[in-house]
Structure 1
Amino acid sequence: MSPASPPAPAPGPGPEALRALLPSDPSSIAGYRLLGRLGAGGMGVVYLGRTGTGELAAVKVTHGDQADQAAQAEFRARFRREVEAARRVSSPWAVPVTGADPDAPEPWMATAFVPGPSLGEAVGAHGPLPERSVRVLGGAVARALAAVHAAGIVHRDVKPGNVLLAVDGPRLIDFGIARATGETALTATDMVVGTPGFLAPEQAEARAADIGPAADVFALGCLLAYAATGRPPFGTGALDALLYRTVHDEADLAGLPQPLLGLVRQCLAKDPAARPTAEDVAARLTEDAPGAAADWLPAPVVATIAARSAAMLALPDIDATAPGTDPAAPVGSSRRGFLTLGAGAAVLAAGGGALALWNSRRDGSGDGKTPAPAPRKTWAVGVLADLSGPAQEIGRAQERGARLAVERFNSVHRGKPFTLELKVSDDRGDRTGALAAARRLTSDPSVLAVLGPTSDDTGIAALPAFEEAGVPLLTTSAGYNLFTLRGVAGPANTTVLRAVPSHFMAGAFLAWSTTLLPRVGRPGVLQERTDDQYGWQYVSGARFGYRQAGLTPHFRVVPGRATDYRSILGEMIDAGMDTYVHCGVRSTAVLAARALDGLGFTGARFTGQHVFGTEFIEEAGAAAEGWYLCAPVIDPVQRAADPRQKAADRKLVQDFVDIHRKRYGTAPAYYTGESFDVVNLVTSWLTARAALGPLTRKGAWEALRARTHTGVMGGYAFDKNGDLSGVGTFLYRVRNGAYAYLGAAPAEPAKTKPGET
């Protein structure tokens, strides 16, 4: 708004992760009947396959739309290397290869299917493992790594998602980036390969010549710490922050059982030569192998494995596929959401491919016999929001804005060929259920675009559903950079349109806002790590902003659990701080506000999006008075009364305020107007697109990205990456216990000191 490689899926998630085949998917590959999709990412799609004798396998195939890539020698070499690496490993604790053909038109590889959760899934759902479980886990994975290293290979991506849990022990999977010792890399020498947070320092610094078996041992140490504590030892958040901590900081091992502490610390030594070998680790984790018993795992994890194993019995039978049969045709009915036939008409699986297939047959083309279906009379815009969790105030405001926009569309376009519905899915602010909440929308073929998510965490967790289905996702509140910035080696964003600044840019706008004030010479910038990715990105943006302004701030980083803000801020004042910038969440901003009041600090105090809201004023009380806050939203009531706006613009906003009052009985809350605008951007595209022929999801993201739109809250346009063009950050000050709207944040540092805004 302006006044500016996903990891390859683990070949063993349970059936609840199994999704129906898309119309573009094959029905069988090299004797494996394909039952559904386990996931997509990295180099291809992973299917659940079954042999003629009933054995299940995870079948990894290059993407259907990557045929050109598969023809490239480099790509085939990479796939062939993965197959060869996996075949050279002989260990009961590594998933074996059961078949492969790197030279097929679409290269494929099959591995044994493990119906248990990954370590990451298990810890995320049930919490840290007890010490014995960690010892069994570590011993088995260490033995698998010993076999990997004995085969002359370095795995290079040992992480919770690449360890599957079965009743008879864990399994190490995914040799997609494994590399033979001494082998020349197929990737650039300065490219970081692996998963941040589970990389050795030599990997984090891309020192290719130093990456050997010891790097896997470092990752194993990270894995053991994660399993025992439930958190990565170097935290979470932005990529550059994780890499920096891995190289320079000590691991956070609080809560690790004392008997494991010494071994894990040795595994996490910065110097590769100081780490034990995988064989040494296996010998020191002396628990016996679990055998056929499941008592090495906590009961809730065993129950998950049992449920997934039982669900395998409900998979469809294998039916012969006649030549010319639609590859999306069913293989039987089941509660897994496979395609079903009824009354002679195919009920197509949801998703971009199925929707495109429906539209391709509207004219009766295809098999030459299918009658043209009647045009769809109702389409939908979805809302994925936190309606009952920690950010429900924002989520409900977003839903109301979207609903008003849909009602406006139907009112204006009454009698047109179709009507529009609003379909809402509550993610509850819980990342563990966000993907399922997203799929409730993306699996509905009537949904053409979705407003959401409310928060960063739920959005990142839900993103795969939108990428797989080809449904555009437009956010008015999530600023995490990875929604649109996938990295040099990752795929380009073709899914998200971010109608708010990234946290990095918001941090820069925040820094530039402080330069509007006189006598700002030594800002104090505090990063607290409750929401690490948000705080780090804000600090990085502020660092950039102050560098542009020619100022040298005093930076301080504190743990999220810190409470003694009087001492922390007292040290910053002693260091010469004349302006305070808080890069953290609301609860710690309240502590900072009270501490600064108690210390008699008279300088200006600034903070950002995750503090902005009525709760900060309520909780900080008098200590909030005078604070400046930057947020990606405008108060519609204050905008309607702003004399700086043109009369026509003020009337437009006032009409929106009046409509909201009539519909809901109150003035619109923050985020309502922006959500109303963004959904109106979608409906304006629908109106134009419907005049050209049948609606489909295909091309929707690119068409929306190319649009410009003027709404009640301002103008919207997007750059080639899907990020908002322009500023999109607005400045408020707390006056008399309320937010006073000051206007848009500056797009560059102030060149003069004109006095307080």
Structure 2
Amino acid sequence: MSQPLLPDDPATIGGHRLLARLGAGGMGVVYLARSATGAPAAIKVVLPELADEPDFRARFRREVAAARRVVSPWAVPVTGAGPDDPTPWLATAFVPGPSLGEAVHRSGPLPTHSVRALGRMLAAALRAVHEAGIVHRDVKPGNVLLAVDGPRLIDFGIARSTGHTALTATGLVAGTPGFLSPEQAEARPGALGPPSDVFSLGCLLAYAATGRLPFGEGTAQAVLYRTVHDEPDLAGIAADDGAAPRPAADPAAAGELLALLRQCLAKDPAARPRAGEIEARLAGDPPSGGAWLPPHVVRDIADRSARMLALPDIDRTVVDRPGGAVTPPHTGPGRRSVLALGSGGAVLALAGGGAALWAATRDDGAAPAGEEPWAVGVHADLSGPGKAAGKAHEQGVRLAVEQYNARAGKPFALRLRTADDGGSLRRAQAAAQALVRDRRVLAVVGPTTDACVDGAVAAYEEALLPMLLVKPGAFRLVGGRHRVPLHCRPLVYALGFGLAVHLTRQEKVSYPGLMQDRTADPVAWQITQGVADGMRKARTRFYPRVVPAGLDDLGPQVTDILHAKVDSFVYAGPAEGAAGVARGLAAAGFDGPRVGPEDVAETVFLDEAGAAAEGWLLGTSFVDPQRLPATASFTRAFRRRFGAPPGRYAVEAYDAANLAIDQLVRGVRDGRPPERARLTTLLRAARYRGLTKTYVFNRENGRFEGEVCYLHRVENGEFRFLGAVPGGD
């Protein structure tokens, strides 16, 4: 939905009169505007702090140049740009229709003739893109807008010239999981070319035809894994594909579409057709015009276009009241409300949406008189299944804040603000919004689970509120599109690599078995990849086995691995599965090294495995502060404050809070701490010596630069902390 302009929004940009806000995100704000000729336009305006970063300005300049080189009736044209202006901006023609994703979500799959026509016109757009020497890299339903005369391909924000060196770090995935090619999913930038866009087009057309993602739902890493290793789900497109086709489908046309999609979705880029070939093979389909779409979609486009004609010349502004409430001021007679556009509008795809939340919570660093002190937030599961770790987070941060407030001569006071998500994705969104709306909260430690991170990151990203992640370790947020996450721990991949270092250097293994239990993907997959890469680096062969999710009995898989005569066993999966594996290994008399990830370090493993758990080694990101000399003073202070020993992750949360406090103090100007956006930059550039480790981050993506892996061994029915893997950091 569009939102009224705010008081500090400019009236014009590059000769365009601004009418309303259409979206806001970590990159900037997108406005609905009219050009000097009266034509509607979507204008992306970059945040000032990004404009000062040379790398970002170079990327934005590349985006503008890429978009200008594409000439096609099915691609939204650039109508103006100021990449070198003090505040960079980019204007495109405005398309009032819904996105393909919105249309399918609301009304279901498109008929076969519509999908074929869609494929023909988008293939023509991609042909123009590729002839301009560009790879789009993000062909997805949200980047295709529907108009009566045909679709429009938008958003060249991550497009790059063929052979151009990416500005993002090697090994990161750019694009949208579910619509990425295998070469993108494996982060092989050198292999990206026009065939990658063709694969994405195949995913998009399969989604339009079935209403399903061809490689399934789930976490980003699970979808990426299936993209690389599994066949696409194309059931229901044609009668010969094992499922009934959709009603009113021409069997011959549907069969041809199915065959074409299978070729587009080939794992080998060389086996995929070119965009021009796809265009030619679909050339006999209905011409552009309303007949290519179902009547209800045409009506939706027409309704939106009609409302567009009522767009005002100057829109209302809003008053930002204390406490974050945003309300429109009184307007005189004749004022009209701004056009309410759906989330499929062109600029929402460019900026990511969420204008209302951003407007209500953005932080300009101002602190109205009489308000509470500045705050550090804790976003955690404090009442659900992960409440033990959540409580440890809260107590660790609370101790850090109280110790800071006890300092003499501190430049400002701090308070603690907590938000409980109960381990729920839905509640995680509300918890994040509550912290974002408190404009005195400058940094947040948490959330405490990977799933809740997924639910909260959009709110924090739009508000540019730094989030320091202590427990979550999946690398789904390491992509360059996110600016606020800071990984205050090694990623789970690094733990897998550390386990491989220990096995090959200390245990001297020569042929380990490696079981990936997909019940725990994507974490299990990332652990497995880390172990496998570590083994390859040590030139140690291994026996891998991937087992489906949800198996109650892993006995046959354990037997298979043991029949390969392995001398050690690595299990990547949940604690319950590890208990079954441990019992199976014990029953077989296997006494070689047995290793698992930190997800196994739970009491359920000890309870269900019993004596079979003895001797297991677990690689973790957390320490036992009661057994680490460097944390002795913390342990004493914690006991005095809370009357009990620190829980798991308490000292790591304490370190993260002190890291944030350190940068808040270092960034003080005129007695005031840095605002959220500046603190984000300061944190990524920081080097901080904590009690558990030295914190250094990749400035591009916030990834923790160390590769430290801590070991725990099960001894006498307890987890005994052994310290860091030698040589693993």
Q: Normalised by the size of structure 1, how large is the TM-score?
A: 0.71
Q: Say which of 4, 18, 28 aligns to 1:33.
A: 18
> Residue 264 of structure 1 aligns with which residue?
261
TM-fit CA distance, 1:390: 5.5
* 1:608 paired to 2:604: no
Q: SS where residue 696 of structure 2 aligns? A: coil
TM superposition shift of 1:568 = 1.8
Please give the alpha-carbon distance, in whole angstroms, between the structure 2 residues aligned to 1:437 and 1:566: 42
Q: Structure 1's 133 and 254: CA in aligned 2 closer, same or farther, altered over 3 A?
A: closer
- Distance of aligned partners of 1:35 and 1:517 in 2 relative to their CA distance in 1, 3 Å threshold: same
Q: CA deviation at 1:566?
A: 1.8
Shift of 1:448: 1.2
**Cα offset, 1:100, TM superposition:** 3.1
1:741 aligns with 2:720: yes
The amino acid of 2:440's aligned partner reads S
Which letter maps to 1:576?
A: K
Compute the displacement of 1:462 (Å).
Answer: 4.0
> 1:435–1:30: structure 2 CA closer, same or farther, 3 Å change rule?
farther
Mapped pair 1:717 → 2:695: yes
Look up the SS of the partner of 1:708 in the other structure: strand
Distance 1:426 1:281, change over 3 A: farther
Q: 1:293 aligns with which of 292, 296, 302?
A: 296
CA apart distance, 1:683: 3.6
CA shift, 1:256, in A, is 5.7
Do structure 1's residue 223 and structure 2's residue 208 form an aligned pair? Answer: no
State how far apart, in whole Å, the 2-side matches of 1:635 and 1:511 are: 22
**Rounded Cα–Cα distance in structure 1 between residues aligned with 2:297 and 2:560:** 53
Matching residue of 1:354: 364
The amino acid across from 2:434 in the alignment is R
Q: Which amino acid aligns with 1:650?
A: A
Question: Cα deviations across residues 472-527 of structure 1 (Å, max 9, x unaligned)?
Answer: 3212112234545x4xxx47x86443221122221122223335765633211222
| CA–CA separation in structure 1 for the residues paired with 2:179 and 2:557 | 31
Residue identity over aligned pairs, in percent, reads 36
Q: Paired residue for 2:617, among 628, 632, 653? A: 628
Measure how far apart 1:460 and its partner are.
5.2
Query: CA 1:20–1:624 in structure 2 vs 1: closer, same or farther (change >3 Å)?
Result: farther
Residues 235 and 555 (structure 1), Cα distance of their counterparts in 2 relative to 1, 3 Å cut: farther
Match of 2:712 in 1: 732
Aligned to 1:89: 72
- Cα pair 1:38 1:48 within 8 Å, conserved: no
The aligned counterpart of 2:44 is: 60
Structure 1 residues 336-485: aligned runs within 5 Å? 338=326, 349=359, 354-355=364-365, 358=366, 374=369, 377-387=372-382, 391-410=386-405, 412=406, 418-427=412-421, 429=423, 434=428, 437-459=431-453, 462-481=456-475, 483-484=477-478
The whole-number CA distance in structure 1 between the counterparts of 2:219 and 2:178 is 9
| Other-structure match for 1:364 | none
Structure 1 residue 573 corresponds to structure 2 residue 570: no
Q: Distance in 1 between matches of 2:541 and 2:474?
A: 26
Whole-angstrom CA distance in 1 between matches of 2:485 and 2:680: 8
Instruction: Tell me how far 1:184 sits from its aligned partner.
Output: 6.6
SS in structure 2 at match of 1:277? helix
The answer to whether the 8 A contact 1:709-1:716 is kept is yes
Deviations 1:675-727 (A, max 9, x none): 2332234345555666962222264345555353444xx34432454555656
- 2:351 corresponds in structure 1 to none
Q: Does 1:700 align with 2:679?
A: yes
Q: Secondary structure at the match of 1:629?
A: strand
Range 516-525 or range 379-388, more displaced: 516-525
Post-superposition shift, 1:424?
2.7
Q: What SS is found at the alignment partner of 1:293?
A: helix
Q: Rate the CA distance shift 1:426–1:23 in 2: closer, same or farther, 3 A.
A: farther
Structure 1 gap ranges (5+): 1-13, 297-301, 321-328, 360-372, 751-757
Distance in 2 between residues matched to 1:742 and 1:560, nearest whole Å: 30
CA distance in structure 2 between the aligned counterparts of 1:611 and 1:282, rounded to whole angstroms? 56
Distance 1:71 1:520 in 2: 46
The answer to whether the 8 Å contact 1:523/1:580 transfers is: yes
**How do residues 116-195 of structure 1 correspond to structure 2 at under 5 angstroms?**
116=98, 119=101, 132-133=109-110, 135=112, 138-139=115-116, 141-148=118-125, 156=136, 157-163=138-144, 172-176=153-157
Relative to structure 2, which stretch is displaced further, 139-148 or 720-729? 720-729
For residue 147 of structure 1, report the CA deviation from its aligned partner: 4.2
Could you list the per-position Cα deviations for residues 629-658 of structure 1 after superposition, in whole angstroms to 9, with x for gaps in the alignment? 22222344xx1xx4x738xx5354133134
State the Cα distance separating 1:79 from its structure 2 match.
Answer: 1.2
Letter of the structure 1 residue corresponding to residue 92 of structure 2: A
Say if 1:144 and 1:710 are closer, same or farther in 2 by CA, change over 3 A.
same
Partner of 1:585: 574
In 1: Cα distance, 2:598 partner to 2:61 partner: 46
User: Do the aligned partners of 1:381 and 1:448 also contact (CA within 8 Å) in 2?
Assistant: yes
Structure 1 residues 152 and 706: CA distance shift in structure 2, 3 A? closer
Shift of residue 469 of structure 1? Answer: 3.6
